[in-house]
Amino acid sequence: MADNEISRENTALRGLVAVYRHLSTLAAQDSGIEAVTELIAERMDATVAVVDERMGVLAAASPAGVAEEVVRERVVHPRLAQVLALTGHTRRAARIPDVIEPSPMIVAPIPVGNEVPAFLLTLHDGEGDIGDDMRLLVTEHAATVCGVILGRERVVAAAGARAREDLIEGLLSGKGSDADEVLRWARHLGYDETRDHRVLALVVEQSQDGLGERAPVVIERFFGTQASDAIIAVRDREVVVVLPSDTPRADQADRAERLTNACLDRVRELFPSALVTVGIGGRCGPPEQIATSYDEARRTVETARRMGRTGTVVAFDELGIHRLLLQVADPAQLRAFAHEVFGELSTHPRAAVSEYLTTLGCYFRANNSPQRASRALHVHPNTVTYRVRRVEQITALDFTNYRDRLMAQVALEILDAVGEGP
């Protein structure tokens, strides 16, 4: 009798060593947690599952082949959530003999660093000959192996994310040493050089209630679901999107504007006080042009801010002469030119200056027609003529002269660009 018991114990121990050795092999290889659950299910003749903190099934296996259905039925039990919390805190496996009769369950936490993101469950039906202590030991060791695998996957995922961020930064900054290298970077990110793209810069403005700080996550998720072919990067309060076009070149901004406007509607719905200013860069085909399109998008955002258009979508192609003004890095130089053109107006009352410049801008847009300008301003044509003549007298400009008229028009555009326009 004693010899038989010793023989059974030796057989169990040999089986335990074999399972440990096999589990260690899985940990050293590139196996996933699915391989662990399959091995334990086979060796223990039990349903085995890995569940997360919310009791979602990450992997499952069973000799009967219906593991996931069985697990989903069992994890809804209210006591299981308490057991998971307890084992996660103590980091010790627990045997639950009476959660659902007659099958006992063993729950083992899966540690990854200082966290316990998942749990290994073995649901034994009592037909196997392995003892309860052996089941507990195998389950604990299998949970440790699952922790090694999940930790390795986290490291790989983090390294992949960092590599992706570095590639995106390289494309946006234009630091590639040659076109072939940049093309390789872009292809790794899924860039299709046969399609035209635009770079979108979505900048979340500061908000008093601080809710806008969560907007970049919403923006990233929106484009991730609505434009799966886009390359997306979150940079603090800015989200950069490299978006392929699905329309002809002449109408290419449509997709970008449609998606960004829908995105802003979503942000406003969740965070009514948040403001997002969007700049849409010019068209880019070869990936080495991405940096130029991004620079245009950023400059467009700055111009939108200067023009009092914060919280709107502005395309670089719509800026007109402002595209040339953006090439001047120092706004002070632009202001100096505008003040030189209209300098003498500064000695007059501010309200009068605003009235004069507003009338002058409308007059130019109406192709120098006092009648059309008067209808836009809701004043008499003689009033338009008087104000235009007063500007000529004060500034010594002659608007019948092409160069004087051009300087005045450019000066008005500059004042709009730097936020000092009427």
Same domain as 388, residue 249 = no
Q: Do 72 and 96 meet the contact criterion of CB atoms below 8 Å apart?
A: no
Buried b (16+ CB within 10 A) or exposed e, 257-296: bebbeebbebbeeebeebbbbbbbbbbbeebbbbbebbbb
The answer, yes or no, to whether residue 108 has pLDDT greater than 80, is yes
Residues 68, 73, 74, 78: is their CA dihedral positive or negative? Answer: positive
pLDDT at 1: 47
The answer, yes or no, to whether residue 12 has pLDDT greater than 60, is no
Q: Residue 223 is part of which domain span?
A: 179-325
Q: Nearest CA to 20 among 41, 40, 47, 48? A: 40
**Domain with 384 in it: what CATH number?**
1.10.10.2840
Q: Do 411 and 344 meet the contact criterion of CB atoms below 8 Å apart?
A: no
User: Which of 280, 297, 325 is where one domain is finished?
Assistant: 325
Greater model confidence, 237 or 20 = 237
Same domain as 204, residue 97 = no
Residue with tokens 């965070």: 271
Rounded mean pLDDT of 313-329? 75
Position 162 in a domain: no
Position 101 in a domain: yes
**Domain with 77 in it: what CATH number?**
3.30.450.40
Same domain as 133, residue 79 = yes
- Number of Cβ within a 10 Å radius of residue 178: 8
Number of domains in the chain: 3
Rounded mean pLDDT of 125-145? 74
If DSSP codes are grouped into helix, strand and coil, which group holds residue 237? coil
Residue with tokens 């076009």: 245
Our CA dihedral for 278, 282, 286, 287, rounded to 10 degrees, sits at -30
Same domain as 288, residue 220 = yes
pLDDT at 421: 61
Give the whole-angstrom CA distance, residue 292 versus residue 268. Answer: 30
Give the whole-angstrom CA distance, residue 72 versus residue 51. Answer: 10
User: Which of 298, 325, 352 is where one domain is finished?
Assistant: 325
Q: And the tokens for 349? A: 């009352």
Q: Which of 85-99, 282-296, 340-354 has the highest mean pLDDT?
A: 282-296
Classify residue 222 by burial, with Cβ atoms within 10 Å: 0-12, 13-18, 19+.
buried
pLDDT at 185: 83
Beta bridge partner(s), residue 242: 199, 231
Same domain as 351, residue 365 = yes
Beta strand 197-204 pairing with 238-244: antiparallel
Q: What is the mean pLDDT of the chain?
A: 81
Give the whole-angstrom CA distance, residue 110 versus residue 108. Answer: 7
Question: What Cα–Cα distance (Å) separates residue 278 from each residue in 62, 238, 285?
Answer: 52, 10, 21
Give the whole-angstrom CA distance, residue 196 versus residue 252. Answer: 8
Q: And the tokens for 188? A: 């790794």
Same domain as 404, residue 375 = yes
Position 404 in a domain: yes
Greater model confidence, 164 or 399 = 399
Position 167 in a domain: no
Give the whole-angstrom CA distance, residue 99 versus residue 302. Answer: 62
pLDDT at 319: 79
Beta bridge partner(s), residue 351: none
pLDDT at 251: 47
Beta bridge partner(s), residue 233: 240
Q: Which of 24-38, 71-85, 254-268 has the highest mean pLDDT?
A: 254-268
The answer, yes or no, to whether residue 278 has pLDDT greater than 90, is yes
Same domain as 321, residue 335 = no
Q: And the tokens for 105? A: 């369950």
Going by pLDDT thresholds of 50, 70 and 90, the confidence category of residue 280 is very high
Percent of the chain with pLDDT over 70: 82
Position 174 in a domain: no
Q: Which of 69-78, 124-133, 139-148, 373-382 has the lowest mean pLDDT?
A: 124-133
Question: What Cα–Cα distance (Å) separates residue 67 from each residue in 20, 59, 61, 190?
Answer: 23, 9, 5, 36
pLDDT in tens, 16-70: 677 777 777 777 777 888 888 888 888 888 888 898 887 788 888 887 776 667 7
The answer, yes or no, to whether residue 101 has pLDDT greater than 60, is no
55: left (phi over 0), alpha (psi -120 to 50) or beta: left
Position 170 in a domain: no
pLDDT at 16: 63
Position 171 in a domain: no
Same domain as 55, residue 33 = yes
Give the whole-angstrom CA distance, residue 356 versus residue 391. Answer: 7
Rounded mean pLDDT of 162-181? 80
Same domain as 195, residue 58 = no
Position 169 in a domain: no
Q: Which of 86-95, 108-117, 330-339 has the highest mean pLDDT?
A: 108-117
**Domain with 257 in it: what CATH number?**
3.30.70.270
Rounded mean pLDDT of 217-224? 92
* Cis-peptide, bond into residue 102, ω within 30° of zero: yes
Q: Do 159 and 75 meet the contact criterion of CB atoms below 8 Å apart?
A: no
Going by pLDDT thresholds of 50, 70 and 90, the confidence category of residue 188 is confident
User: Which of 325, 355, 374 is where one domain is finished?
Assistant: 325
The answer, yes or no, to whether residue 199 has pLDDT greater than 90, is yes
Greater model confidence, 340 or 159 = 340
Same domain as 275, residue 362 = no
Same domain as 290, residue 246 = yes
Rounded mean pLDDT of 160-169? 80
Q: And the tokens for 97? A: 């003999």
Rg of the chain over Cα atoms, rounded to whole angstroms, equals: 34
Same domain as 22, residue 146 = yes
